[in-house]
Amino acid sequence: MLPCYRRAFSRLVAQSHAASSLYILLPSDPCTSVLLSIVCVCVCVCVRTPIRKNAAELHGFAPDPLFSPAISLCPVTLMPKETASRWSESRYTNLQVPSYVPAEALVHEDGQFLRAFLLRVLANDMQRMLATNTCAVYFRNIPLEPEYDASGNRTNTPENVVMEKRLRVMDDISKLLRTYVERAEYMANKSKDINRRIYFTAEQIETGDYGALIGPRGLVHQQLEKETNCHIVLVGRGITNPLKDTNPNAAAMALEDPHVRITATTEEDLQTAAERIEWILSDEPEAVEFRENNRRRMAQVDGRYDPRTWMTAAEKRKKAAAEKAAAASGASAGEDETGAEKGRKREREEGPVEEEDTELNEFLEDL
């Protein structure tokens, strides 16, 4: 049997060189198989021939018919040693999704995030039940009383009820999504707005010149916003009423100095609105006439206009100045009189003379 092994082994090595592969033919004897395996491994290491796993890759190799009954085909594979590298490009994906609701989800967006998440889970679950025709399982613990129409057809089948509920859930999800989109658009547009404040003087507040920015029934205010494409608001002490204003910041605005707030999207619109407002509040003759006409029209609308007693703002200021001067002069005259009285010596006042009681005197004499 040794010549047979030698012939088979030489043929195996020759075919392994031709096909760049090596397969080990092991006989049935265990001792001989071990020795032959060691020799084959040594030959593979010496010739540095790769070992294939599949017998079909030997390109037509077939064992000797005389030798095949006593041997078995057993491939030996030499795997290259893999070394771990710190610079691996593989991404860590072994993420563990928490099985509980985080506390941050309850606080985020006032709980709307968690509500949207639960609605989406419910919608997906209902879609799964509709797809697998297992809607009756949803009403296993809650029995569904059947309802029929005039034709005898059931109207509240589990499929219909689940489908209607899924439509309602999807409507709620759409509303939340629409709210989120509107809020995002509002924040995007709000960040682009430009603000400017023009403060009123004490004289303008006292005379009410700032009322010309509102006009009769708000016509001037509406016209200003339409022409300048700006949002104009009058706020501050004496203007904002926190009891009537619906703005949540009305209480804080009522403590600010009186001013007009201009909000615009472009610098050109903001400059145009500021110039118009400053002109209305200026001392130019045309601006004064404009304010006077507004005062007259507002009085006519409110029913306070009387041509006989009507006074312009200039006349009111003159009258107020005259009254103030008269009051000051009267006060100074009164002070002078008071000073003269203080310098003069006051005469002694005598008390009233008591009348004698004759009856009382007679009674005392009798005693």
Query: pLDDT tens across 78-95, in order?
Result: 555 566 555 555 555 555
pLDDT value of position 271: 92
Mean pLDDT, all residues of the chain: 73
With bands split at pLDDT 50, 70 and 90, how would you rate the model's confidence at 301?
confident
Say yes or no to pLDDT of 273 above 90: yes
Mean pLDDT across the stretch 175-180?
A: 84
Say yes or no to pLDDT of 40 above 60: no
* Nearby residues of 39 by Cβ (< 8 Å), 6 or more positions away: 9
* Nearby residues of 129 by Cβ (< 8 Å), 6 or more positions away: 135, 137, 138, 162
Say yes or no to pLDDT of 274 above 90: yes
Mean pLDDT across the stretch 109-126?
A: 85
Mean pLDDT across the stretch 268-292?
A: 90
Say yes or no to pLDDT of 168 above 90: yes
Query: Could you tell me if 11 and 29 are in contact, meaning their C-beta atoms sit under 8 angstroms apart?
Result: no
CA-based diameter of the chain, in Å? Answer: 189
Say yes or no to pLDDT of 156 above 90: no
Q: What dotted CATH number matches 194-302?
A: 3.30.1370.10
Structure-token match 């003069």, residue found:
344
Stronger pLDDT, 223 or 74, i.e. the higher one: 223
Work out the burial of residue 8: count CB atoms within 10 Å of its CB; fewer than 13 is exposed, 13-18 middle, 19 or more buried.
Answer: buried
With bands split at pLDDT 50, 70 and 90, how would you rate the model's confidence at 278?
very high
Tokens, residue 214: 């509102």
Strand order in the sheet with 259-264: 194-199, 259-264, 231-235
pLDDT value of position 50: 44
With bands split at pLDDT 50, 70 and 90, how would you rate the model's confidence at 61?
very low
Mean pLDDT across the stretch 143-155?
A: 87
With bands split at pLDDT 50, 70 and 90, how would you rate the model's confidence at 7?
low
Residues 214-256 pLDDT 10s: 888 888 999 999 999 999 999 888 888 877 777 777 778 888 8
Could you give the percent of the chain with pLDDT greater than 90? 13
Say yes or no to pLDDT of 26 above 50: no
Collapse the DSSP code of 278 into the 3-class scheme (helix H, G, I; strand E, B; otherwise coil) and give the result: helix
Q: What is the pTM of this model?
A: 0.39
pLDDT value of position 215: 86
Domain boundaries along the sequence of the chain: 2-74, 103-188, 194-302
Residues 305-361 pLDDT 10s: 787 777 777 777 777 778 888 888 776 666 666 655 556 666 666 555 555 667 777
With bands split at pLDDT 50, 70 and 90, how would you rate the model's confidence at 53?
very low
Q: Which helix (H) or strand (E) holds 74?
A: strand 71-74
CA 16 to chain centre: 72
Say yes or no to pLDDT of 263 above 70: yes
